Amino acid sequence: MQGLLKQPGYRLHAPESPEAGVLLAEQGLCPADLNLALAELERSEGTTVRTVIGINEDGVFGTSCESWHPDLPDTGGERFIPLLWLKVHELLGRVPEGSTVRFVQDGTLPGDAQHSATIDRIAS
């Protein structure tokens, strides 16, 4: 895993890094918001993220393993838990419930459905 993080391509930034801070800020979030979203994920879906592995433009990546790091033995068996930024906002109640599922199914973002309905009404 550590070698993968050093290769060009899909990158994850350490949660405490300046890059991760910038990405959080771009989403209008702070570390406390992320902690609230993770707590809500556990409460609402039973998925526990004990360690945030990295943050990038797509979202947050964690694991249920406490204090995970790539040098732990048998880290290959540990599943990663990806959370798109949209899911983080949904967990915080900032977008309607079901927004993430809708996006994964057909690419519709929360504002897109409203915009599309308005265009359809204008066109008729």
DSSP 8-state secondary structure symbol assigned to residue 13: B
Q: What is the DSSP string of 38-107?
A: HHHHHHHH-----EEEEE-SSEEEEESSTT--TTSTTGGGSPEEEEEHHHHHHHTTSS-TTHHHHHHHH-
Per-residue pLDDT tens for 20-77? 999 999 999 999 999 999 999 999 999 999 999 999 999 999 999 887 776 776 666 6
Domain boundaries, the chain: 2-96
Residue partners of 121: CB distance under 8 A and separation at least 6: none
- Residue 4's pLDDT is what? 46
Give pLDDT, residue 25: 97
